[in-house]
Amino acid sequence: LEYLAHTHVPTVWDKAGVALDPLEWKWQRHAVLAVKRKLPDGVTLATYVDRGSDGVRMTFVVTNHSPRLLTGLRVQMCTMLAGLAGFDAATNDNKIFAPPMAACHDASGKRWIVTGWEHCGRAWGNPPCPCLHADPVVPDCPPGESRSVRGWLSFHEWPEGTDVGRELERLRAAAFD
């Protein structure tokens, strides 16, 4: 495990006794939020969030300044729901997992949060947290190169009877086509 923002699972850096300073998101020009972490082995992880009229588009970039080929890059993209009023139930019963998208509705069943990532390896939720995942797999990254994947996050209020599966397909097309 190269890096995890959560602290409950030790990374290679924790096991080596290397502390990584906390990071905060920073505003860049054109209303883009960014966070970038350079790891001690020369690997840089960066995430960019760009708002749009219908949701936010995200980009995750791995840049490899290490001497080794990075393979099997499975990324956990955790959308924390615990602080989101009405979405904080500790269950998966309010979620739909339809890779590359995952969605969760509030207690009323009308308000939804939708997230997704291209090259989604796994869509899932962790009820004890609670959270929502659509975790991407980043293509192998040779030394000196970068690889990226695109993501999506949006909020919706759909009337009862809405075919949420159809809406997820529409959003998938909007996000990744």
Q: What is the pLDDT along the chain (177 residues), one digit of tens a residue?
A: 787 777 678 888 889 999 999 999 999 988 899 999 999 999 999 999 999 888 999 999 999 999 999 999 999 999 999 889 999 999 999 999 999 999 999 999 999 999 999 999 999 999 988 899 999 999 999 999 999 999 999 999 988 778 888 889 988 888 887
22: preceding bond cis by omega (within 30 degrees): no
Q: How far apart are CA 106 and CA 115, in angstroms?
A: 15
Evaluate whether 70 touches 43 at the Cβ level (below 8 Å).
Answer: yes
Predicted local distance difference test score (pLDDT) of residue 142: 98
130: preceding bond cis by omega (within 30 degrees): yes
Q: How far apart are CA 2 and CA 10, in angstroms?
A: 9
